[in-house]
Amino acid sequence: MPAFELRSAALVALSCPDPDRKCALVAELNAARKAGGAVDADAVIADPGGLPGRPARPELVHARDVASRGVGSVEGRAALLHALAHIEFNAINLALDAVWRFARMPEAFYDDWLLVAVEEALHFNLLRERLRAHGHDYGDFSAHNGLWDMAERTAVDPLARMALVPRTMEARGLDVTPGIRAKLMSAGDRESAGVLDVILRDEVGHVRIGNRWYDWLCERDGLSPANAHVELAQRYRVGLPRAPFNTEARLAAGFTPEQLDAFAGVRD
């Protein structure tokens, strides 16, 4: 049996199309790393293409064509839970992609993103359980692919990845999750609302990890974190974060008051 190496093993997990097996592989990676498995930070691993591994369903469509997610009916709540589960499935893939793709980072970088993959797999499975409780399963509704599209666009630049995925797209979840939770509570779905409590708690840590490595890369490269984020957003044609913010969660996730003030001042 070949010796375990975290980054190569992460690519195997990322390539796996079956959600159950992917989550199991993430758990195996975590156990192997905790048991002393190696990380080859210097290895430049060739992209095998066809990433990420995903099941044949859900059908991927434009965001405007995704099923309605109103919580007033069981079907609407199921559509909402499916959309959230798809986000978490993509988030597993994003974390695994960060582990295998970006060479010559400190070992702590790879350990951080492995932790994110473990927690995103938990979130996916919790949401899938709630989806099944509503008479559906992952794949029953269409979904869009915005998160992974951004992963592909930032595949050659870890600074852009940290700025535009965890600090921009995923951080938006900190702002919107409390409102979604409130809607589920108003519909009487306390169990699903409880799952969102777990997700919000963990996502604060995930965005904090993104901020940590964004700041580290800026310091390494002699860049201003504030100016670099604006420049990257313009280069990749991604909107900067917009108020209203979940200020408490964003501060806990490593944004500074000055950054939030600057974001709040952004206008079309």
Please report the pLDDT score of residue 208 as a whole number.
Answer: 97
Other CB atoms closer than 10 Å to residue 233's CB: what's the count? 19
Please report the pLDDT score of residue 243 as a whole number.
Answer: 83
Tell me how far apart the alpha carbons of residues 265 and 190 are, in angstroms, rounded to a whole number. 36
Residue 60 φ/ψ, nearest 5 degrees? -95, 125
- CB within 8 A of 86, min separation 6: which ones? 58, 138, 143
Give percent of the chain with pLDDT exceeding 90.
80
What are the residues facing 5 on neighbouring strands? 38
Reading the block at residue 87, the tokens are 């986000």
- pLDDT (mean) for 221-235: 91
Cβ–Cβ < 8 Å for 82, 138: yes
DSSP three-state, residue 38 = strand
Per CATH, the number for 56-264 is: 1.20.1260.10
Domain boundaries along the sequence of the chain: 56-264
Residue 242: pLDDT band with limits 50, 70, 90: confident
- Alpha-helix residue ranges (DSSP H) falling in the chain: 6-15, 19-34, 74-101, 107-133, 146-153, 158-164, 171-186, 190-221, 225-235, 247-252, 257-264
Q: Is residue 193 over pLDDT 60?
A: yes
Q: Which of 23-27, 90-94, 140-144, 191-195 has the lowest mean pLDDT?
A: 140-144
Tell me how far apart the alpha carbons of residues 192 and 107 are, in angstroms, rounded to a whole number. 35
- pLDDT (mean) for 123-133: 98
Cβ–Cβ < 8 Å for 141, 78: yes
Longest dimension (CA), the chain: 57
Higher pLDDT: 21 or 60? It is 21
Residue 267: pLDDT band with limits 50, 70, 90: very low
Residue 259: pLDDT band with limits 50, 70, 90: confident
Q: Which of 12-16, 64-68, 133-137, 140-144 has the lowest mean pLDDT?
A: 64-68
Please report the pLDDT score of residue 253 as a whole number.
Answer: 97
